[in-house]
Structures are given as C-alpha cells and as structure tokens.
Structure 1
Amino acid sequence: MEINIVDKYEKLEKVGEGTYGKVYKAQDKATGQLVALKKTRLEMDEEGIPPTALREISLLNLLSHSIYVVRLLAVEQAAKNGKPILYLVFEFLDTDLKKYLDVYRRGPNAGPLPTQLVKNFLYQLCKGVAHCHGHGVLHRDLKPQNLLVDKEKGILKIADLGLGRAFTVPMKSYTHEIVTLWYRAPEVLLGATHYSTGVDMWSVGCIFAEMVRRQALFPGDSELQQLLHIFRLMGTPSEEQWPGVSGLRDWHEFPQWKPQSLARAVPTLEPEGVDLLSKMLQLDPSNRISAIAAMEHPYFDSLDKSQF
C-alpha cells in the first residue's frame, strides 16, 4: 500500500547518508516514537519491489529479533515523480560506536575505555554477529560507524545489515566520503570473490583493537596501503600459511615482512584478550575464530553472561 510518508512520519533532521541512501531522524506521528527513516536507492520497475529486495527485507525482519541487531519496524513504499521509493523504518539510536569512542579519544574526559566496557561491547558484538551468521547472513561492512549504541541500556546493535545484494554497496558513498577500508579483511582487499563468515570476524578484531587502543589498528587510505599496514604487523602471507593466497585477483609480490608482536600493538590488553584478538586476525580466513567460539573464549570469563 502506498502512503504519503509525510502523513505518517515527521522528518526531524537528516542524520546522514548511509551506505544505502539518505537517513532521517523522524517521529511516528501516531505513536510519537523516534525512528530512523532510510530512504533506499533501489532500482524499481513497474512490477514494484524486486524479489531480491523483498528477500533481503524478510531476512532483515528475521534478524532484527535479536536485541543486538537494529530493529526493522516497518517498510513503507512511497512514490516521487511517479517513481516508487522504498523507506525502511528502523528504531532510532542517537549514537554509534565511533562517536562513543570519540569521547574517550579527545575532549575533557579522554582516557582508556574501562576494561569491562570493552568486554561487554565485544561480547554483544560477537553475539549479534553469531546471530547473523546463524541465519546465513554476512554483514561485510562492519565498522564502528554502523554499530549503534543505546547509551541508557548499554546495548550495542549492528546496523546497515543484510542489504548485500539488492542494494549494492558502493566503493564511494554518495557524499563522496571514501568508504572506509580500515576494517576490511585481507581476502576482500586481495579481490577474493568467494568469502565467508571470516570477513566479519576480521572486522570484529579490528574493532576490538580500536576499543582498546582508541585508534585504528590498520588505518590505510587505499587498498594497497591497507594491505601493507596489515602485512607489516601480521607478516606477509605465504602459500604455506594461507593456501591459495597467491591465486587471488589482486595478489602481487609484496614486500616480505615477518609477523610482529600483536601484544605490542595493544599494550594495555590482558594476555587472554591478545590471544582472542590473534584468533580473529588470522590472515587465512579459514583459520579465524567463529563468533560463537569467540563468545566461549576465556577472555570473557570475568563477564556476567547471564545479563545478555
């Protein structure tokens, strides 16, 4: 059913250009609830919503049963200049992990994140990722900007999820801000066409390190620089360590670096944490720890898991 989006929601402000289109903070006129309205860029034909998009929306609906995934509340179809537009209506959270970390990075209260908070957020992230992977969904673009934080409840939620195929992820976002590569797995940077749950676990590792260090572990500004950052710390992979790596599309003869101490890159992280991080940052994706196994790691032993 087509609705006039203006009749149902009052747009309060544009809060960003998401990976998939404009995002507005809005209020549901009937209930007063604050929502995030995502206006999707979707090639729609006269037939209406393409089946791929419908599949992904039903998947999103399924995934949002976890409190660690941002909830999809409704899907609204509207029209502009005779062209159909799809709005996805999500619960609204006013901060993300990047903004949350910025408070600790600079400003009057700058300082390390409390150890228990890092554990708490990382555990929730693993739980959300395990939920997605359990439904066969890869996120493929996990980064602090799309992990939303409910500050009052202390809950971390995964956003920008599952719209992988019908809504293409551009290399440049529409504000010409380069899509960040800092959390991207080496197999993706090397042009692998088939990848698995390991792509998300690499990103989780990078986010973990950043919560501890308060700065990105691999802050590359191009795909090549990104790979060099990774190889300088983790060592340049060989066929022995990572079978098939030299057959990937963008493999070149890279400088040969030996692995450095990961503990030195995250000096304040306890040994159990360094061990978990090293299991997430394995160069060969098939050697990376799964989200479900990560939740059982001794690093989380001091956490009261009954609260999750």
Structure 2
Amino acid sequence: MLKTMTKTLLAGVAATALLSTVASAQTTLRIQNHQSQSSPYGVAIQKFVDDVAIMSGGDLQIEMFYSSSVVPSAETFDAAKNGILDCDMTNGSYQTGKNAAFQFVADTMGGYDTPLQYQAWVEQGGGREAINELYATHGMTFIGAHVGGQESLNSTSPLRGVADLKDFKFRSPPGMESDIFASLGASPIVMDFTEVITALESGIIDGADASTLATNLNIGVYDVAKHTTFPGFHSMSSDQLACRTDVWEGLTDQQRRIIEVAYKNVAMDLMISTLVLNGEALAKMPEMGVTTYDWSAEDRAAFRAAAQAAWQEWGAKSPEATKMVQSHEAFLRRIGLVE
C-alpha cells in the first residue's frame, strides 16, 4: 500500500514538474495593431494569432492589442522599441518624423498598381533588406508587410482624370500625399480620418482620401460623395510586423519560422478579402447613384510622374530615404511599371 502511494506521489510530482517546465518554456509576444478586431484587417490578424498558437503547439502565444488600446498608433513603434510591447503591427509612415525613409516603407504613392507588386518588392526586390537597414538603427527588425489593395479617392463632383483635380478640395493625410496632389492643382486639407463624413456633409471638403471602396461604403462616404475612383491609383498603404531585435533573436529558429509563415498568410488573406469585399461594394454603387472612374493609362502615368517627382524631394531628406527610393525605382523598372 505504502509502495503504491509512493509511486502515486512521485508521479504527481513528476507531472507537476513537467507542467511547470512547459509553462516556463511558453513564450508570449505582446503586439499592438491599429485596426478594429471586426475589420477585414482584424479578422486576418486574429487568424494569425490562432495559427501561431496552433503551429507552435501552444509554446508560442501572442497577446494582441487591437485599435491601439495600449498606446496611440503613432507611438507603437517606440513602445516596442522601449519594451512596453514586443512588436509593432501598425504602419511605418507613422515614423516619418524620425526619418523620411519610413514613408517608403508604407506607401510610395502612385508606385505600385497592386498589393502583389509591393509584396514582390519586399520579398524579391530588395525591400526587406532596405527596410531592415533602416530599422536596425532603431533596434527593430522588420518581419513583413500586409496590404489589402488600392484605396479609392472620393468626391462630390466627377473625378475623370488629372484635369478634375484642379482646385479639388479634399481630405488628405499629412506628408508626401499632400505634396503630390498640390503639384497637380488640388487643394489638400489635412484632417483626421474620423472627421471625413462631417466635413463632406458640411461642404468643408469636396472629397476625401479615406480607404478602400468597401470601407468607404461601410463608413458612409457614398451617402454624401457620389463619385469615386475604382480601381484606385493613388494610395496603397501597407501595415507591417516589426519586432524589437533582441526579442526576435531570442526566439528559436522554429518559432521565427512559424511567425514568418503565419504572417505571410495574413498578407494573402487580406488581399483576397479586399478583392471580394470591393467587388461586393462595387455592385452596390449604381443603386446608390455613385459613378466610378477607372483612370486612363495616360492619367495614371501623369499621377505616377508627379509622385516620382515628390519621391526625389522626399528621398533627398536623408541618406536612408535616398536608398529606399532607389530600391523602389529599380524594382519598378525591373517589373516594367516605369521606363
């Protein structure tokens, strides 16, 4: 009897020790993104969280914070850099105040026509290497990017091409985009995304650079603005996954590979869902009285030329920005988008 109890006791101790070892071996990464959990971005990100847990057998967990719930979006990079978080899943353009090169991590404005082209620059065009050269100076490592597709420009009057941009008063984010549109005769007004609908209704602006066709529909843009570009041509802002370098290098080879593979699925899932949702939104445009404009090759080329002129100005702001612009331009020539 005593022998049986001893065996049982030893088995319990061993099991407890094993559970303790498993618990101590578990790694948790704290990551913040700036998307709502119910958005297409949020859905793809939650799948990433689940995939990492399943593929690692539970050894690697991600504590994901949505809608910038820990720190403001623009402070996420520094929060990861300084140890409040482990990784940043927001947008590189928030850091343009540190270095103009960050603009070209997130959005070249008029550079690529599709998200696949941008992803090709990251994966096979030297993009990852160029970005990590920049991020290394901040103690961060760039893991990858995810972007759904081109955004649609919206207006209360026709947007048939470059000529219709003259005196076009529209909501624009700060930075290079405002410079490009101003050079084409538009009057960009910098305002927060949350102010778009009210500003359109009150006539403060004639239009807005807000988001993709589907998102614009969901937030009510087309209840007011009855003209929109589709497919988009001007902006395709990419979000990222970047981790503090000591955290990233502290993971095992297996854990890093799991994150890389799972994260590539985020990019693919988002491209697919954006394509589908935009198609569904497009079918609703006629019944809402919305006219869509697919800009001609000539007008797209005119916008790209204006964008490239702005690239040179922004590229001159730092050596890192110069290298980033040169990397994009070389790849655009390589895939035939520019001569």
TM-score tier after normalising by the smaller chain length: under 0.3
Q: State TM-score, norm by structure 2.
A: 0.24
Q: State TM-score, norm by structure 1.
A: 0.26
**Greater radius of gyration (CA):** 2
More helix by share: 2
Higher relative contact order (CA 8 A, sep 6+): 2
